[in-house]
Amino acid sequence: MMKKFIEVSALLLACAGLLAGCAGTPAENNGTTAPAAAETSAPESRSETEAQWPRTYVDALGNEVVIESKPEKVISTFHAMFPDYFYTFGLSPLAVAAAESRFHHLSAFEEFLAVNKPEDIGPANSLNFEKILSLAPDLIIMTKLQEEVYPQLSQIAPAIVLDHTQINADWKYGVNEFAKIFGEEDKVDEIISGVEKTVADGAESLSQFRDKNETVIFLAVTGKQLFPYPVTQLQTVYNGVNEGGLGLTAPEAYTKLTDYSQPLSLETVAVDYKPDHLFIIADNVDGDAAQYITQLEENAVWKNMDAVKNNRVYKIDRSIFGFNAPIGTKFGVKFVVDSLTE
């Protein structure tokens, strides 16, 4: 199971780092409401709210999970994707896996983290069960990759296992599933239309850029290696305007990649891809990645790339289009539009 987790995490470029846990919940974070991620309708009356609970949610493993009341203190055992949906529905996570080493440093969530920083419960592949127990959560959201620890987590609180690959492939499905969990079905249409409008407005802003037929690629730096960023993470970038995307173009050789787990040589990027614009994605706390990027910038092959010579290299962290979730998508659209139109 551990080997499987590490391999998939590398492919998704979301491997969590090791960090220590400490007991207790600080006063500033007890699962409070997050800053509004979307305009919401008037609050329901108490009787309407109570009528929704308890409810039963059937998770990705077929578990029938009974949620007694509207969740307020919710833990995510995955630092990527899931917290985005928490914030989208106005809920600040009580705790997140790899919070201190990863999640607290993601640019897409700065406004939320400035108000409330979730507790850390250790890396996703080595959770701190004692810490989770001490936080007394109402609900725990976990991935199928963590199936073997479901018995332990479900003893602490109701635990729901979600298929992160399915949510990554279809963010609207993700919105609908989290709405069922949080009892927020009435907000689904508004959230989806809000994301679609952001993308449509971004596509319109890039109309003149598309006319230039310039190519765009995204590369991720992990440690001291360069990886192609999965196209499945970039639906919004490369889908056509009529398909709900920005309609940008990748080099033909880049579109033929099928194995995103294999590192790329700089020569491959420079000679085979020859991008006109290059987005470099790396974690802000990855010291090896920062050192490697510095080495790249001193390399003659790097310096000779058109994207570099024309000052068309843009650096950002992994929250850009993070697992195609709503907030990460909106953040990504703004960053891409600002970068390509400045």
Q: Which residues pair with 228 in a beta bridge?
A: 219
Q: How far is CA 210 from CA 238, 262, 329, in A?
A: 11, 30, 20
Continuous H helices in 248-286: 252-255, 266-267
Token output for 134 = 């001490």
For residue 82, what are its two tokens? 């899931």
135-163 core/surface letters (b: 16 or more CB in 10 A; e: else): bebbbbbbbbbbeebbeebbebbbbbbbb
Condensed to tens digits (0 to 9), the pLDDT of residues 63-106 reads 999 999 999 999 999 998 999 999 999 999 999 999 999 999 99
Other Cβ atoms less than 10 A from the Cβ of 208: the count is 9
Closest CA to 216 of 304, 268, 275: 275
- Which residues in the chain belong to E strands, given as ranges? 55-58, 64-67, 74-76, 95-96, 119-120, 139-143, 159-162, 216-222, 225-228, 277-281, 313-316
Neighbours of 72 (CB within 10 A): 16
Quote the mean pLDDT of the chain: 88
18-45: pLDDT as tens digits: 333 333 333 344 555 666 554 444 455 5
Mean pLDDT of 222-242: 89
Q: In sequence order, which residues have a C-beta less than 8 Å from that of residue 284 and are 6 or more positions away?
A: 105, 107, 317
Residue 299 in tokens? 């390399």
Token pair for 61: 């493993």
Give the pLDDT score at 107: 95
Contact 6, 13 (CB under 8 A): no
What angle do helix axes 326-341 and 171-182 make, rounded to 10 degrees?
140
> pLDDT for 284-342, tens place per residue?
777 889 999 999 999 999 999 999 999 999 999 999 998 899 999 999 999 999 999 98
pLDDT tens digits, 174-188: 999 999 999 999 999
100 forms beta bridges with none
Q: What pLDDT shows up at residue 12?
A: 38
**Dist. CA 260–CA 229, nearest whole Å:** 7
User: In the numeric block, which tokens belong to residue 67?
Assistant: 């949620």
